[in-house]
Structure formats: C-alpha cells, structure tokens
C-alpha cells in the first residue's frame, strides 16, 4: 500500500495567491469594462537587459555547434559564474567568500526549501511573522510541525513577530531554536536590518549553536550604504550563516531561473553526541545527488550581469523599480496612510486606515480603485491590518493606481 506524506495534509488550503486570483477573476468577470492594475504578486515586469540577452544568445549558439557544445556541467555551477559572483558580490566588499563556497541553482525558492533536508527533523525552526511562505510550508512538509492552529500558527514553529514597534526586525526568541530564517531586505514588509541588528542575531546564533538561513534575494535594491547586503558583512557569520541569493529580482530572471547558495567552510551543525560537522559537504552531496546543474546558456547569461554593461543595465532597471517605490510611498503618505519599506526594497508595506482588515482593504482597493495588492495577513497573523504593494510594475500603471487610491474615500 502506497502511503502519502501526511504532512502535506497539514498545509493550509486556499493559499494566498490562488485566493487573490479567485477574487480578481470574480471581479473582472462581473466588471469586464474595468481596467484592473496588478501590483500584487512579486514578479518583475521589465525584460532581460541587452547585455544579458546577448550572452544568452551566445550560449545557445555554442550549444548548437559541435565544437563548443556542452553536456552535463558541474552540479555546483560553472566556475566562470561562481568566480564572478565571489569577486563582484563579496570580495569587492571585503567579504572573504570564495568560488568554492558557492552553489548555483535554479532558484532561491528551491534552495530555501531544500536546505532543510540536510538538517535533522528535531531542529526547531524560527521564522519572522509575516514571512515568505516557502520557509513555513517546507518546514511543514518535512514533518517538523504539528497542525495549524486557529490563529494561523503551526505547532512546532517559533514565530517571531515583525511589527511597527520593533521596526519589523524580530526580537531574539525566548525559547530554544536551532535554525533561523531571516530575510532582509524583507519580503513582504520591504524593510531592512542594520548591521547592529544583524550582529545581535549572529552573536545569538554563535552562542546557541544555531544556523541563520539568510535570504538576501533583494540585496540589489539596497541604496543606503550603511545597510548590509550580505550577512557575511557581520563578524562571525561565516561560522553560523548560509546565504541565499537569486538573480530573479536582481536581473529579471524570474522566468529564466538562476540563483545561488553560499556556505562557508566554517558553518557547522552537530550530531546528537554534540560533535560538530561542517555543513558544506552535506549540501554539496545533496546538490550533486539530486540536481544536475543550471543550463549553460542561463549561467552564461547570469555571468553577463557582472560585466560592465550588465552592471550598468541592471542598475538602471533597479532604479526604475525603486522610482516606482518612491512614487508609491509619497502618494500613499499624501493620502494619509502610514507607509513602511520601499526605500531599500521593491515592496511598500501600508497600514490600513481605521484598523480595517487586510482582506477588507483588498476588496475595497479592488472594487473601488481596481488595483490589486496583497493582503498582509496572507503572510502571517502579524501581517493583519497591513497591505503590500509591489513596485514591480510599469510606471504609467503605478501613477494611475496611486491616483485612483488617492481618490478612495
């Protein structure tokens, strides 16, 4: 008899984005003449930049020629890409990450989910609340949790509220935890963590033998020089942190697929007897066994991000989205909303007025302004009463959406 993984039955039905899709479809079917502007899902809208497309084409041409054709590549990723990452994303900033610490993959969603496999099921996982849902759902799938409570929390996960009061960076947990997911710049709140705040977490992890799983998918959107782009800018993080980065938001790779995970040699975890083991060989084993590498043209395209033209073009696209964010912040503030984020991240996190619930605000904004955003409560109970607007949109739509929201009564 084939048995299912019953942990899947604990997963919350009616996940956020399907529910948004359902409400939007219902509205557009009933109101076919209305022009709905979508600022909900965090997906980029600008095309790949010319330098990236050129490299992508060259990669395809090499694959079409017997002399330059490539079959399986190294599971960890091509050296040319890992070297470019180490040099440009780390060493240039004085951070001692080397090509050998980097594992190329087809996405940070997969990496942040798959990483759990190399850690035992007795680990207690801590996550922010609100949170990128992947960390929570993959924890449930792995069997580390009990059921979902009525309040929307899984038994066995430690939720760390990220609120206006703590500047959306959680307090250190009061109970024992082992693996800590942190994401800065943050999705969904669009807020950042300072060096001092991250230092507090690194010190905690070192003192308690925890590992920080640091999702830096939005690091390219940081404009403030004092805000750390990498957890490894913090002393000691190379002994307790794994960093995830993706080209999805950085360079429009959401549909092209390329990301990477960084694991320095000094990061260790323990067996039940308390002996320390480096984590990198475990991930290397997992990656080589279950993954056969990202396609060559895609890696070649990703490497082009680090060329002079690639850097310039990528910075221009990021500036375009961040100008959207600036317009959104200014307009929403002028309309009397309390606004967070949107300065070093492409998300604007808005407090609803008069304690309106996130979903009521969703329905109001959809019904009266014909704009789609994301209800904060969909990212966790502490997101209730908030709403996320994504700056990944076309400028004219941003301007029109803000105009319509200004006119809401």
Name the helix (H) or strand (E) containing 43. Answer: none
Instruction: Round to whole Å and give the CA distance between 27 and 42.
Output: 21
- Indicate the residue among 42 and 331 with the shorter CB distance to ligand PLP: 42
Among 126, 162, 183, 222, binds ligand PLP (CB under 6 A): 183
What's 87's DSSP letter? I
Q: How far is the CB of 135 from ligand PLP (least distance, A)?
A: 9
Quick check: 142 binds ligand PLP (CB under 6 A)?
A: no
Q: For 261, phi and psi rounded to 5 degrees?
A: -120, 140
Instruction: Choose the binding region for ligand PLP from 171-179, 246-254, 306-314, 378-386 (rule: CB under 6 A).
Output: 246-254
Task: Write the CB contacts of 92 (distance below 8 Å, at least 6 apart in sequence).
Answer: none
Region binding ligand PLP by CB under 6 A among candidate stretches 116-124, 243-251, 367-375, 379-387: 243-251
CB of 259 to ligand PLP, least distance (A): 4
Query: What is the nearest approach in angstroms of ligand PLP to the Cβ of residue 109?
Result: 3
Q: For residue 387, how far is the Cα from the chain centroid?
A: 17
**Using the rule CB under 6 A, which residue among 139, 187, 191, 390 binds ligand PLP?**
187
Residue among 229, 249, 329, 388 that touches ligand PLP (CB under 6 A): 249
3-state secondary structure 215-269: ECCCHHHCCCCCCCCCHHHCCCHHHCEEEEEEHHHHHCCCCCCCEEEECCCCCEE
261 touching ligand PLP, by CB under 6 A = no
The yes or no reply on residue 287 touching ligand PLP (CB under 6 A) is no
Q: State which residue, 187 or 230, has the beta carbon closest to ligand PLP.
A: 187
Note whether 334 and 405 are within 8 A (CB): no
Number of residues that bind ligand PLP (CB under 6 A): 14
Among 88, 254, 335, 397, binds ligand PLP (CB under 6 A): 254
Backbone torsions φ then ψ of 213, nearest 5 degrees: -100, 100
| Pair of tokens at residue 400 | 């029109």
Considering the complex, state which of residue 343 and residue 369 has its C-beta at the smaller distance from ligand PLP: 343
Give the nearer residue to ligand PLP in terms of CB position, either 328 or 405.
328
Closer CB to ligand PLP, 321 or 370, in the complex: 321
- For ligand PLP, the closer CB: 244 or 306: 244
Closest approach of Cβ 181 to ligand PLP, in Å? Answer: 10
Q: Which stretch binds ligand PLP (CB under 6 A): 29-37, 62-70, 140-148, 242-250?
A: 242-250
Task: State how beta strands 276-278 and 268-270 pair.
Answer: antiparallel
Query: Which 105-124 residues touch ligand PLP, going by CB under 6 A?
Result: 107-109
Pairing type for strands 37-38 and 371-372 reads: parallel
Residue ranges in 364-403 that form contacts with ligand PLP under rule CB under 6 A: none
Taking alpha carbons only, the member of 239, 223, 225, 401 closest to residue 328 is 401
Q: Does 349 bind ligand PLP (CB under 6 A)?
A: no
132 binds ligand PLP, rule: CB under 6 A: yes
CB 352, min distance to ligand PLP, A = 22
Rank residues 84 and 251 by Cβ distance to ligand PLP and give the closer one. 251
184 binds ligand PLP (CB under 6 A): no
Contacts of 298 (CB under 8 A, 6+ apart): 56, 59, 256, 257, 258
Should residue 182 be labelled a site residue for ligand PLP when binding is judged by CB under 6 A? no
**Nearest-angstrom CA–CA distance, 296 and 60:** 8
Helix pair 50-63, 308-334: axis angle to 10 deg:
140
Q: Please state the length of the chain.
A: 409
Residue 376's nearest CA partner among 354, 366, 361 is 361
Please state, in angstroms and rounded to a whole number, the distance separating the CA atoms of residues 105 and 381. Answer: 31
Residue 252 lies near ligand PLP (rule: CB under 6 A): no
The site for ligand PLP (CB under 6 A) is made up of 42, 107-109, 132, 183, 187, 215, 217, 246, 248-249, 254, 259
């Amino acid at each position: 008899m084939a048995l299912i993984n019953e942990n899947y039955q604990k997963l919350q039905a009616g996940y956020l984005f399907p529910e948004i899709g359902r409400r939007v479809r219902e509205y557009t079917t009933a109101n076919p003449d209305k022009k709905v502007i979508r600022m909900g899902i965090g997906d980029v809208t600008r095309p790949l930049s010319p330098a990236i497309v050129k490299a992508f084409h060259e990669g395809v041409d090499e694959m079409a020629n017997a002399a330059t054709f490539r079959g399986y590549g190294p599971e960890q990723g091509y050296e040319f890409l890992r070297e470019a990452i180490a040099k440009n994303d780390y060493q240039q900033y004085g951070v001692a990450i080397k090509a050998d610490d980097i594992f190329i993959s087809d996405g940070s969603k997969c990496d942040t989910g798959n990483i759990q496999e190399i850690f035992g099921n007795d680990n207690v996982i801590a996550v922010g609340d609100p949170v990128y849902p992947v960390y929570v759902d993959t924890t449930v799938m792995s069997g580390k949790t009990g059921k979902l409570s009525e309040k929307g929390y899984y038994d066995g996960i430690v939720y760390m509220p990220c609120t206006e009061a703590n500047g959306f960076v959680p307090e250190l947990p009061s109970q024992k935890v082992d693996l800590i997911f942190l994401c800065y710049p943050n999705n969904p709140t669009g807020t950042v963590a300072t060096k001092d705040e991250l230092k507090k977490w690194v010190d905690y992890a070192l003192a308690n033998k925890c590992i920080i799983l640091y999702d830096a998918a939005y690091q390219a959107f940081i404009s403030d020089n004092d805000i750390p782009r990498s957890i490894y800018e913090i002393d000691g993080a190379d002994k307790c942190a794994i960093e995830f980065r993706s080209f999805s938001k950085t360079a429009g790779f959401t549909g092209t697929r390329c990301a990477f995970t960084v694991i320095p040699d000094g990061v260790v975890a323990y067996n039940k007897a308390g002996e320390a083991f480096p984590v990198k060989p475990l991930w290397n084993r997992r990656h080589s066994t279950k993954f056969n590498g990202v396609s060559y043209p895609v890696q070649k395209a990703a490497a082009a991000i680090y060329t002079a033209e690639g850097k310039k073009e990528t910075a221009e696209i990021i500036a375009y989205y961040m100008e959207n964010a600036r317009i959104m912040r200014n307009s929403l503030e002028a309309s009397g909303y309390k606004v967070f984020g949107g300065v070093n991240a492409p998300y604007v996190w808005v407090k609803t007025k008069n304690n309106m619930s996130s979903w009521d605000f969703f329905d109001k904004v959809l019904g009266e302004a014909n704009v789609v955003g994301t209800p904060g409560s969909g990212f966790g109970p502490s997101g209730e009463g908030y709403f996320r607007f994504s700056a990944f949109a076309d400028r004219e739509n941003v301007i029109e959406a803000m105009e319509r929201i200004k006119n809401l009564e």
